A and B are shown apart, each in its own frame.
Chain A
Amino acid sequence: MTHISRRHLLGMAGGAAALGLVGCGGDDDDAEQPVATATQASGGTSAAATPTPRGIKPAAEITYWSVHPANSKAAEEELIKRFQAAYPDIKVKLETAGANYAEVSQKFNAGLAAKQIPDVVMLSDVWWFKYFLAGTIEPLDALLDEVKVDRSDYQDTLIKDYQFDGKQWGMPFARSTPLFYYNKEKWAAAGLPDRGPKTWDEFDEWAAKLQAMAKPGEFAFTHVKGDSYIAWTFQGIIWQFGGRYSDEKFNMLMDSPEGIEAGNYIRSQVFTKKYANVTAKDEKADFLAGTTYSMLSSTGGLAGVLKDAKFPVGTAFYPEKKQFGCPTGGAGLCIPKAISDEKKLAAMLFIAFITNPENTAYYSQNVGYMPVRKSAVNGPLMAEFFARYPQFKTAVDQLPKTRPQDSARVYVPGGDAILGKGLERMILNNEDAKNVWPDVKKELQKIVDTEIRPKLKI
């Protein structure tokens, strides 16, 4: 991998922007030229012209399956418009493949069985591994080299999340961390300092004050349910308490004393301390309505929250307990194995283009996900924006302190749902974590033994 200086890269990103403008102007009589130039823009060095070293031309049309996470359809359409301007010879068809990550995964799975698959598919942290196990997604290393993508410019944590067995199985796109969102008006009314709580113990004190001034039906804090990824927000909490769901050898460890303490802690927030509820449908809607005063929610929804909130919103790191703990999350883009080489090449060009520094900065500013490129975060692309909206910086600042999620959630097929259901038993049904975790462990262990160990030979 060639090393590229930040200035060099930004220069090229600027070039890409300029190219985009030219393209928008309707200049399409030199269709050949942009392919080469835009390949540069996708973060690589020079000299990649069509056809590529293998003598393959990118396909004329590719299909992209997305779920437009956090209402990002307009932003995605803009990215595609920019891509069409830079690559007039590759038409991108954007298809809505479900309402959430589970649905696109289901559709992809069914599509594989029916042999109707896209060329680029959005697979979230908890889904891509299943398709890696099944051998149905393409390792991207050779393609990344072919279109000369500078992998070292992607944020390390985010790109590593899609690595296994020494190969790259997807590229980070809509990537997030959970943030602690709080309603500054309520904070001020309760006499609290304008920041997030440093620890859960501090938050217990604060929440009591907040709850004291709450109207009936209002709560200082809210938890989400399984289908809104409680197993993701709780991933951070179980780490903070010194526990974990599992280790990298797929041993299930959530029933440790620390895991039980963490589970019973969130249960106590709802049932004994009574300052937290479980959101009926959408934690962001409750927060925006002013009926819950704080929440743990993805940075992916940040732009929408800031736009719709009628009160000042603060964002902060996760509170700590024994230590800090915070996962990354969100979705990446994968390429199916069973499509032609021409399609794969076009798909790679598309992925590289929409995750280049310029475009990831655009996507981040308009949706809320983190820019996936170092040069975007550290350079002028985001600097002015961060100054204007410091809330966006929290996730990026938190990122170096995150760690990869436990295998039980992201690698065990269906693991997220099983963990989520266990956590629902605690926060909806007031069941003791001591009784819940062993059931969860048994269910996950069975899948590990039947579906993972035989395939990975571990």
Chain B
Amino acid sequence: MAHAAAHPRASGRIQRLFPYLLFILFIAPNIALLVLFTYRPLVESIRLSFYDWDLISPQKTWVGFENYTDYFADPTSRYIIRNTLVFTAATVGSTMAIGLGLALLLNLRLRGRNAARTVLFAPYVLGGAAIGIIWLFIFDPRFGLVSALLGRLGLPSPNWYNDPNWAMPMVIIVYTWKNLGYATVIYLAGLQTIPRELYEAARVDGAGPWARFWHVTLPQLSPMTFFLLVTTMLSSMQAFDIISVMTAGGPLDATKTMVYQVYEEAFVRFRVGDASTVATVLFFILLGVTLLQVRFLERRVNYG
């Protein structure tokens, strides 16, 4: 302090700048990582979408917008966009709905509640590849658990591996199972922050369980709902591991999503330009969806 008093002017400037310097110091590592591993690849990927390149030849060929015109002219692209949307809508919807249901259940004073919470959350921290392999056994049309259970009911097992109509439900079920714990934990945390007085007041006003859920619980959970919607949607649209392990996008492209297409174009077919094109389109779809969510949905969020 005595030292600072000796140079009042300089120390005043530093003191004024200090919060900013501290700020920069704290965010610098993060910004550096983001720039290096997120923004630079993003820019690079957009740039590469205007070239033809096979990943190893020394030259890249400039093709202008040809990759984009090819992409939008190909009916397969539309099919894959549709797959991506179906997969995302189904996984986000079921993860959030079932997650909320389980959170409500686990919020009750039940025996073994803590154990149940742990068990429920476990799949979220397991690796996607391992989960995919385990569920492949479960869904095995001839020897699997699902087939055995359906057999008890006298039903034949769908051919999950080969039937283009059943492969998508299979990966949706597995992906939902993996992410259920995440949604449940977020909702559970939310439930525990809702003030008890609100329920008491509602009860005094004569609200039944359904009305209390609809008019108290759900609005109070809206920040969690919004957060989950954004995060699970982003991660579902980028789901890769489970699809790669279980179906490799098949049968007949039935489970091929845009992210899988990016991988396949780049690292199976070595068409980096086409892969970057899909990646860029996916980026703009995600950006658009997120902006829409922030712009229109966040207004309806009750931050209490």
Closest CB of chain A to B30's CB: distance in Å?
26
For A308, what are the chain B residues with a Cβ–Cβ distance below 8 Å? none
Q: Are B268 and A226 within 8 A (Cβ)?
A: no
Q: A90 vs B47: C-alpha distance in the bound complex, in angstroms?
A: 45
Q: A433 vs B275: C-alpha distance in the bound complex, in angstroms?
A: 29
The 4 closest A-B pairs by CB, nearest first: A280-B161, A112-B56, A414-B269, A113-B55
Give the secondary structure class of A's interface. helix
Q: Are B142 and A280 within 8 A (Cβ)?
A: yes
The verdict on A50 contacting chain B, using a C-beta distance below 8 Å, is no
- Which residues 390-429 of A have a CB within 8 angstroms of B? 413-414, 417, 421, 424-425, 428-429
Q: A367 vs B140: C-alpha distance in the bound complex, in angstroms?
A: 27
Q: A425 vs B254: C-alpha distance in the bound complex, in angstroms?
A: 11
Q: A280 vs B159: C-alpha distance in the bound complex, in angstroms?
A: 8
Q: Are B56 and A417 within 8 A (Cβ)?
A: no
Q: Are B56 and A421 within 8 A (Cβ)?
A: no
- Which residues 45-104 of B have a CB within 8 angstroms of A? 52, 54-57
Q: How many residues of B contact A (CB 8 A)?
A: 24
Given A424-B250, A429-B164, list of 16 further CB < 8 A pairs?
A109-B56, A109-B270, A112-B56, A134-B54, A226-B250, A227-B250, A278-B162, A280-B140, A280-B142, A281-B140, A413-B270, A414-B268, A414-B269, A417-B268, A421-B252, A428-B164
Q: A225 vs B141: C-alpha distance in the bound complex, in angstroms?
A: 16
Closest CB of chain B to A127's CB: distance in Å?
11
The verdict on A25 contacting chain B, using a C-beta distance below 8 Å, is no
The verdict on B248 contacting chain A, using a C-beta distance below 8 Å, is yes
The verdict on A309 contacting chain B, using a C-beta distance below 8 Å, is no
The verdict on A188 contacting chain B, using a C-beta distance below 8 Å, is no
Interface residue from A106, A286, A289, A424 paired with B267 (Cβ < 8 Å): A106
For B251, what are the chain A residues with a Cβ–Cβ distance below 8 Å? 225, 424, 428
Interface residue from B57, B140, B252, B269 paired with A428 (Cβ < 8 Å): B252
The verdict on A110 contacting chain B, using a C-beta distance below 8 Å, is yes
Q: Are B159 and A424 within 8 A (Cβ)?
A: no
Q: A130 vs B269: C-alpha distance in the bound complex, in angstroms?
A: 10
Q: A450 vs B270: C-alpha distance in the bound complex, in angstroms?
A: 13
Closest CB of chain B to A110's CB: distance in Å?
7
For B142, what are the chain A residues with a Cβ–Cβ distance below 8 Å? 217, 280, 286, 289, 291
The verdict on A48 contacting chain B, using a C-beta distance below 8 Å, is no
Q: Are B162 and A225 within 8 A (Cβ)?
A: yes
For A280, what are the chain B residues with a Cβ–Cβ distance below 8 Å? 140-142, 159, 161-162
For A208, what are the chain B residues with a Cβ–Cβ distance below 8 Å? none
For A451, what are the chain B residues with a Cβ–Cβ distance below 8 Å? 54
Q: Are A425 and B267 within 8 A (Cβ)?
A: no
Closest CB of chain B to A126's CB: distance in Å?
12
Q: Of all chain A residues, which has the CB nearest B52? A: A450
Given A280-B142, A280-B159 in contact, is the A109-B55 Cβ separation under 8 Å? yes
